Amino acid sequence: MREEHSESDERPCSDIELYALGMLDGGERVRMETHVQDCAECRQELGRLQELLGLLPLAAEQVDPPEGMKKRVLDAVLRGSAPERRDSGAEGISLASSRTGEDDRDELEQDDAAELRAAKPSDAELHAGQRRAAEHRDANSLEQRAEEHRAAELYAEERRAEAEANRLQQSAEEAVNSPTSLETNEPALQKGAEAATATSATWTPSPQQQTRGWRASLTAVLAAAAAVMLLLSGVLAQRMDSLNRENKRLAAELGQTRLSLDNANSELKKAAEPFTGAAVSQVVSLKPVKDLVARGQAYILVDERGTHLIVQASKLPELKDEEAFQVWLIKGDKPVNAGTFKPSGNSGAVTFTFPGGSFDQVAITLEPDAFGATPRGEMVLAGALKV
Amino acid sequence: MEKKGEEFMTEADWEEHLMLQIASRSSDALEKLYDRYERPLYSFIYRIVGDGMAAEEIIQELFLKIWNNAEAYTSNGRNGKVSSWVFAMARNRSIDWLRRRDSRPAAGGEIGLDVISDPLTTELAVENRLMAEQMRQALSELNVEQKQVLEWVYYGGYTQQEIADHHDIPLGTVKSRIRLGLRQLRKRLGDSWREGVRT
């Protein structure tokens, strides 16, 4: 990854708080990850900070969870993921039919790694290669992800509406059920009336009058229930409205994502076009750093697409196992990765296009593998660039 | 509150044990963990997203994740505390939600890290309750600027650069306020709570 380094010149140790809060990105984070492996003091400090941050949430003002949340949550979790289908769309992505179960697992693992790192990042779990692979995959599936994102949001909305509807239906049922209890009380009422007839000679209600009495209350209750239902349907209609609005918003968001994807594609196309009248602005000969016989040259070309660096080298030392050569553009003590290569015979070359900017040096190092973001190996060749 | 067995020395041990049971698909254990975290988690998530429905959804996602990933968590041989893991996931998801809606509280809003006077609930484990009290006390002793920056970072999910841009504070100052704030919190809480929390 070609990361711009921050302007901070401080030692990595001073960024440990920012790292613990997950506020470093790109090169800074990689630098800190590497540093923490080597610095016992930082590792210890990181552990303490993580403990502190793990407890900070407890200080939040306590709020009562909504009624019935426990049942809803646990039902959904246990229903949504029986053991035999653990890898399925329980995360709310089952709608994205283009995904395979394997992708899901990948994502779970990736998420998990990130979150476990948040809980305990001192573990050396992220190898540069894995990270690169993940980044690569991310870039490739941008469009797919946009679709999935939308599907997942819609799914969440749908579930929200469903929960709402269930709740409303329950209230409605309760309202409608109240008259039933009146009916069941009827015999008791009648008994009471009979008792009254037996003991009092002054007023004897006719059976019709009794019936009219409870019928009237039943009618009133039903009317009330109907009113409640009417009100609830209004609420539901409003909810539908807001869902429709949300749908539109998501569609617009998807449109935006597509647009940026189109832009990225046209950039890619441009990059594939041949050089047209590229001006060679510098030719630098690369000198061996130690008593090596290696030789190399670097060319800086400028055209309308940007600045291109072409580096070629020969009589390079033999590589072992996973080793590779890596080219760096250096400004002060900040190297920018300009690509890695494995020579054929003892010669190799690499090209790198960048937006421009000034560098003092171009160098080639011998690295343990082809996936480093910062130099780890020895410098082999170097040459000064004119700023 | 579930009564835990006497064989467990600390809350953390007990939670580790629950995670192991959850990994072997014990829904009882999941329920116990749920009971333990429902209120503090809901309060914390609600504090970030400010939306009850969203908070419930996030809690559901979290428990789904715990249910499906407990095995990975326990087999990883890590000794990070369950609570750190759970709260970190909660914060990540809540801040993602905020970013997706782009509804992060307007900068310059109230300082939520201020001393909170509500009584701490009994659902919180005793040692967590003690911890929360100390944490609130320590937070109340930070200066306004440190508190504010930590608030934006921790509950708002803002980046250093966003804070610098929105508030016209030099990036270096933002960084140093974060650093000093956290360092001071650590100092205020001292080592006593570490001993109290861990055995």
Q: Domain B113-199, CATH 3.30.43.10 — does that match? A: no
B129, B120 contact by CB (below 8 A): yes
Q: For residues B101-129, give the mean pLDDT.
A: 51
CA distance A125 to A144: 27
Query: What percent of chain A has a predicted confidence (pLDDT) above 70?
Result: 61
* Contact criterion met (CB < 8 Å) for B154 and A21: yes
Contacts of A65 in chain B (CB under 8 A): 38-39, 42, 56
A334, A3 contact by CB (below 8 A): no
pLDDT higher than 90, residue A220 = no
Q: Which of B64, B100, B186 sits opposite A80 (nearest CB)?
A: B64
pLDDT higher than 70, residue B113 = no
H or E element: which one contains A165? helix A142-184
Q: Does the beta carbon of B188 lie under 8 angstroms from any beta carbon of chain A? A: no
Q: For residues A266-289, give the mean pLDDT.
A: 79
Burial (CB count within 10 angstroms: exposed 0-12, middle 13-18, buried 19+), residue A277:
exposed
Q: For residues A340-359, give the mean pLDDT.
A: 85
pLDDT higher than 80, residue B147 = yes
pLDDT higher than 80, residue A294 = yes
In a mutational test of the B interface, the residue from A62, A78, A112, A150 whose CB has the highest number of chain B CBs within 10 Å is: A62
Q: Provide the shortest C-alpha distance from residue B155 to chain A (in Å).
A: 10
Give the mean pLDDT of chain A: 70
In this structure, of A183-192, A233-242, B73-82, the range with the lowest mean pLDDT score is A183-192
Q: Would you give the DSSP letter of residue A318? A: P
Verdict on whether the full-model pTM lies above 0.90: no
A47 to chain B: closest CA residue:
B80
In this structure, of A170-184, A334-348, B152-166, the range with the lowest mean pLDDT score is A170-184
Token reading at A289 = 């750093």
Confidence category of residue A65, pLDDT binned at 50, 70, 90: very high
B131, A51 contact by CB (below 8 A): no
* Contact criterion met (CB < 8 Å) for A56 and B121: no
- Name the residue with higher pLDDT: A118 or A126: A118
- Name the residue with higher pLDDT: A221 or B35: B35
Q: For residues A34-50, give the mean pLDDT.
A: 88
Confidence category of residue A131, pLDDT binned at 50, 70, 90: very low
Q: For residues A330-339, give the mean pLDDT.
A: 86
pLDDT higher than 60, residue B158 = yes
Q: Which of A76, A90, A119 sits opposite B80 (nearest CB)?
A: A119
Q: For residues B109-128, give the mean pLDDT.
A: 48
In this structure, of A205-214, B45-54, B136-145, the range with the lowest mean pLDDT score is A205-214
ipTM above 0.85, yes or no: no
A153 to chain B: closest CA residue:
B100
Question: If contacts are CB pairs under 8 Å, which of residues 119-138 in chain B contact chain A?
Answer: 119-121, 124, 128, 131-132, 135-136
- Name the residue with higher pLDDT: A124 or B134: B134
Token reading at B159 = 């980046």
Q: Does the beta carbon of B52 lie under 8 angstroms from any beta carbon of chain A? A: yes
* Contact criterion met (CB < 8 Å) for A21 and B182: yes
B50: phi > 0 → left, psi -120 to 50 → alpha, else beta; which?
Answer: left
* Structural domain boundaries in chain B: 9-103, 113-199
Say what the pLDDT of residue A123 is: 37
* Strand extents, DSSP E, chain A: 279-288, 295-303, 306-314, 324-331, 334-341, 348-354, 361-367, 378-384
Q: Do domains B9-103 and B113-199 have the same CATH topology?
A: no
Say what the pLDDT of residue B77 is: 55
Q: Which of A58, A66, A114 sits opposite B132 (nearest CB)?
A: A58
Q: Domain B9-103, CATH 1.10.3720.10 — does that match? A: no
In a mutational test of the A interface, the residue from B26, B30, B71, B84 whose CB has the highest number of chain A CBs within 10 Å is: B84
In this structure, of A123-137, A257-271, A323-337, B87-101, the range with the lowest mean pLDDT score is A123-137
